Amino acid sequence: MESPAALLSFARAGLPAAALRERLELHSDPASLWRAGVAAWRGSNASAEAVARSQCPDLSLLATDLAWLEQPGHHLIGWQDPDYPDLLRRIGNPPPMLFVAGDPDLLWHAQIAVVGSRRASTGGLDNARGFASAFARAGFAVCSGLAQGIDTAAHRGAFEQGRTIAVVATGLDEVFPKANHALAARIAAAGAVVSEHPPGTPPRSEHFPSRNRIIAGLSLGTVVIEAAERSGALITARLATESGREVFALPGSIHNPMARGCHRLLRQGAALVESPDEVVMALASVAASLAGALRGRLNAQETVTARAGVASCPPVQAGVWRALGHDPVNLDQLAERTGLTVAELAPMLLAMELDGRISADAGRYTRRP
């Protein structure tokens, strides 16, 4: 059995996530783990039934999964894969594998999660769209959950200036809610849609809270726009805090029930923000500190797709590209040339570096040839 087929067999077997992560680390690839058979699972908490299912998968389902994986833009990233996003590895219970429709490299970009109520007010929707657009303009990818309300507004706002990532609680051949079918297709074409569940998985209530840990885990920080006192957005915020990530909340009217969750977060220590710039400034230094690790990953790749050239840049990045010229410049010089602050420039430069457009050395930036 080849590695993709073996990984898909494990995906449908009901194996405990921790046991599967551990076994994938111990073996060179999923195929070798599958060939090791039942003996490979001794000492783990995997049940005999789950191990048996992994060794004797439903061949019809396996063929369907492989057919999905063979389609352009479809990817499966296992725990053992160097392309598995580093930030997500650091959370308490990371998924053993990720199904991705779109650009898997985007999962390594500096991201900000924008989450909130499905029944948001008009003002909340405007704020979600405006904040997401500003984050994308600053060079961050915007991560959300493709739900109605704040999530939908955030994805659409991000598209105004950059790219977005949707983490869903279904298989990637399913869209929930159905009204976001066109939006999901657009995100897959120009960003990434991500799930821990294999194709064909329908929406199940228990999958939505677990989906939120991936949103929080992929992101440097989480911004809650509007949330009721009992809200999935608060779960995302809690998981972000537990993973050592920043949490931000927008205050609202004391008469708005969708503001009570944000006020609760603020009482618990979330940062109060009134503008996107406050979030960008707070996370710029965090994004810069990750640049070394991400740069190492790029250098380790045999090839890097260099999408150099001003035509492929978002408008603000295009201005930064022109300001770079062909000689190395530092952040202060770029700030003077562009009129942008260092806090605004840092995440943009990180995004451009990850895209292969520029290189960085000793704090000085140069266009890649």
Give a yes or no: residue 286 inside a domain: no
Contact 115, 223 (CB under 8 A): yes
> Based on the domain organization, do 270 and 180 belong to the same domain?
yes
Q: Are 273 and 200 within one domain? A: yes
Q: Which of 52, 70, 88 is the last residue of a domain?
A: 70
| Whether residue 170 sits in one domain with residue 246 | yes
Tokens 């590209």, located at residue: 321
DSSP readout, 115-169?
E--TT--HHHHHHHHHHHHHHHHTT-EEEE---TTHHHHHHHHHHTTS-EEEE-S
In-domain check, residue 76: no
Of 51, 70, 89, the residue that ends a domain is: 70
- What 8-state DSSP symbol labels residue 201? P
What size, in residues, is the chain?
Answer: 369
Residues 264 and 307 in one domain: no
pLDDT for 121: 95
Q: How far is CA 218 from CA 79, 196, 215, 315, in A?
A: 14, 13, 6, 25
What is the enclosing helix (H) or strand (E) of 248? strand 246-249
Q: Is the pTM of this model over 0.75?
A: yes
Number of domains in the chain: 3
Residues 220, 330, single domain; the answer is no
Which of 316, 319, 245, 314 lies closest to 286, judged by CA? 245
In angstroms, the CA 216 to CA 88 distance is 8
163-209 pLDDT, tens digit each: 999 999 999 999 999 999 999 999 999 999 999 999 999 999 999 99
CATH number at 217 reads: 3.40.50.450
Map residue 338 onto helix, strand or coil: helix
Q: Which of 96, 89, 81, 78 is nearest to 17 (CA)?
A: 96
Q: Is residue 222 part of a domain?
A: yes
On whether both 120 and 31 belong to a single domain, the answer is no
Alpha helices by DSSP H, listed for 219-341, are: 232-242, 260-267, 276-300, 315-324, 331-338
Is residue 94 assigned to a domain?
A: no
190 and 152 within one domain: yes
Same domain, 347 and 255: no
The rounded distance, in Å, linking the Cα atoms of 35 and 16 is 19
Q: Is 253 exposed, middle or buried (0-12, 13-18, 19+ CB in 10 A)?
A: exposed
pLDDT the model gives residue 212: 96
Q: Is residue 234 located within the same domain as residue 328?
A: no
Low-confidence ranges of the chain (pLDDT < 70): 288-316, 326, 343, 354, 362, 369
Q: What is the pLDDT of residue 295?
A: 53
- Tell whether 322 is covered by a domain: yes
- The residue segments making up the domain with residue 259 are 105-280
Task: Classify residue 152: in a domain, yes or no.
Answer: yes
Co-location of 145 and 246 in the same domain: yes
Residue 75 lies in a domain: no
Q: In what order do the strands lie in the sheet with 271-272?
A: 74-78, 97-102, 192-195, 164-167, 141-144, 111-115, 221-224, 246-249, 271-272
- The answer to whether residue 231 is domain-embedded is yes
Same structural domain for residues 195 and 243? yes
Specify the CATH number for the domain of residue 315. Answer: 1.10.10.10
Q: Tell me, yes or no, whether 170 and 251 share the same domain.
A: yes
Domain boundary pick from 250, 280, 310:
280
